[in-house]
Structure 1
């Protein structure tokens, strides 16, 4: 089918299936499951794929993978959606509100899964129009280390057949529905979790000379650690060091024996990341020792930075402009949040773009990871069709 006819065909199919896609998203939203606990979600996805005549199989515990085979002799690309929810109590009063107390699809993974199922339905109807294969990856555990993407890769999701390129999308409430955003090159940050225990000698607050105050030591470490970012990092490398949890379980007149701190370190450079870990360890342990205390620092190595391969991203941008119009494809800034899609971007040329979900009048603007997050469901008229078009175009360019 000529390109001039293929876009209207995909758009028509996306519109035809839009109500079903919305229904799928609402079902998933009402039945969220936490990371690596997506048993019912995986069963639902498997059932939907089997309706298309596909042969899904489990991977990484609660993940699902399936293959749409076009005409023989072409390459293989992969499309990815994550499936897990967050430990958040939903406060919005909508008909599809979470029925699982304390668990909510507050990051849009229900949208991602519904969109990929919608794209699969479109692509399965068009498989006679393209040469090659499209691997559908429904991923568990994006929200929790070690990240389901890393486990799927270890279990060979990018092999048999080998995947040449990977595409993924993520909701973005800062853009209205009908638009997408993307950025070439380094886009999202690595993320590491920091756990510090500062040990001193507690006692009466009126007799500090008899004690070794870990609260004072902790205060010095929190302040001094910022020099790792401000004075050790190159100004050309974005870096963030934040401490979000401090527990000093004493009282107004009680100095505790220890202080517990949790934080995060993020950057966009793997070499500097490793170097920063060393600086943080030396600073925390050395500063505590200089004050007579002890600091134990545990660094839990998280996701790598996310790289959108420039040539692939340029092709995605051009194809998206064809499908949506140039005015609906916007340039994004770097973002210091993290995503385990980064593992795919480190293993194969990849592009991760953002799907607008806000209404033009400002509704549905609540940020992800909040109890009121929701979307303008017009985004589900855009997401599946665009993903199907990008997949077909990428196969044609690789063939």
Structure 2
């Protein structure tokens, strides 16, 4: 009889206390977070226009006791939860979607269309997984609010606009994110992976994402009739020579040990097959990890454009015009000590088999800026698997090609993606709040 009483007492009182781990709470919260995810997925908004999305995230934070500031750095949201003395941990999620028509065929697929800034009607889709990021962000906030007895410090939740246009982080930092709110000791973020199996966590020390720079080049010439090319200086031929020579920056002027990419993604010039135009327009992206390679690449592009213009016989007044776009993103450098600390905790909490070291990516992420201010805040961005396990396995073997991020076919698996993301982000914060 005494044993039966002890067993009943244990089930009624001890088990609930033991269950209050981040993993258990994320599992319990999943129905709520799945509904939130579906809502965000079906109601995407473009960069700098995340008005309704930001309102929803602000309301989510208010409901669980955060002090919330809206419209910070545009549509940005900042939530503060003070819970005694201790470290300050910042968790960031990006809110914007892409001008992509969703073609996943899912019943909950986005059907949103809108006008872009050029007046064109475009579809809108969370093709980069920011709906997952926001749902995980909300779940982590809810979990940490429920576990206040387990940590001490200050939690900052940042809903950031315009990651896809590389302007949101810059705008929030410029408005005083680190001066008007507590300065973080650590900053955390996730990014979905289209190739990792759902339930897995990926990481990379040091450089994990690249410098990304955008450049426009106007190539001038002297137009005329296609029948008399000797009376012209053909900017199309000159552009072709420039495009070809630009590739030698990577293959012959950059160390093979230093990653770099130069891509000419657009070329526009001419209107008729028998008319040589006066100018051609090129659009480029340059990608690298180190700031020195970035600087050298930009300088070499200028040198090549000038040199080819001289070779074509153009006067200096008609040398190509190079314009850098204000959409640059610096490389994301995961602080080695912070990365090792959190990853070791992940391996202890989730098991080593669930944690995977991944290759660095040449994509860009403006979360990098959170670690590049004069405050030198250590940052860590980790990857969250979203793919069906069987599909991820086939892709790893090279049997299939999975849709990439920004694809109209990109389709995360909500479960266990959200559960894993919430538990991982909450565990990372709990671990960092320890003295």
Q: Same fold (TM over 0.5)?
A: yes
User: Any conservation in 2 of the 1:32–1:100 contact (CA below 8 Å)?
Assistant: yes
- Which secondary structure state, in structure 1, belongs to the residue aligned with residue 86 of structure 2? strand
Q: 1:250: how far off?
A: 3.3
Q: In structure 1, what is the equivalent of residue 395 of structure 2?
A: none
2:215, 2:138 → 1: CA distance? 37
Cα deviation code 1:3-43 (max 9, x no counterpart): xx878621111011101111111101101000010001001
Q: TM-score, normalised by structure 1?
A: 0.94
Q: In structure 1, what is the equivalent of residue 430 of structure 2?
A: 392
- Which secondary structure state, in structure 2, belongs to the residue aligned with residue 304 of structure 1? coil
Q: 1:362: how far off?
A: 1.4
Cα deviation code 1:115-166 (max 9, x no counterpart): 1001100000111211101110110000003x21122122222343110111
2:379, 2:264 → 1: CA distance? 31
User: Any conservation in 2 of the 1:197–1:258 contact (CA below 8 Å)?
Assistant: yes
Q: In structure 1, what is the equivalent of residue 348 of structure 2?
A: 322
Number of aligned residue pairs: 391
Q: 1:313: how far off?
A: 0.3
User: Which of 149, 156, 159 is residue 169 of structure 2 equivalent to?
Assistant: 149
Q: In structure 1, what is the equivalent of residue 322 of structure 2?
A: 297
Q: Any stretches of 5+ residues in structure 2 without a counterpart?
A: 1-16, 114-122, 393-400
User: Any conservation in 2 of the 1:345–1:351 contact (CA below 8 Å)?
Assistant: no
Q: 1:361: how far off?
A: 2.4
Q: 1:322: how far off?
A: 2.1
Q: In structure 1, what is the equivalent of residue 130 of structure 2?
A: 109
> Residues 1-399 of structure 1 correspond to what in structure 2 (within 5 A)?
9-58=21-70, 59-70=72-83, 72-101=84-113, 102-145=123-166, 147-159=167-179, 160-293=181-314, 294-300=319-325, 302-347=328-373, 348-362=377-391, 365-378=402-415, 379-396=417-434, 399=435
Query: Which protein is bigger by CA-based radius of gyration?
Result: 2
Q: TM-score, normalised by structure 2?
A: 0.87
Cα deviation code 1:45-99 (max 9, x no counterpart): 11111111222112111010101222x2201010110000001111122232213
User: Any conservation in 1 of the 2:224–2:276 contact (CA below 8 Å)?
Assistant: yes
Cα deviation code 1:288-344 (max 9, x no counterpart): 132123311112351111100101000111111122210010011121111101111
Cα gap change, 1:6 to 1:304, in 2 (>3 Å): farther
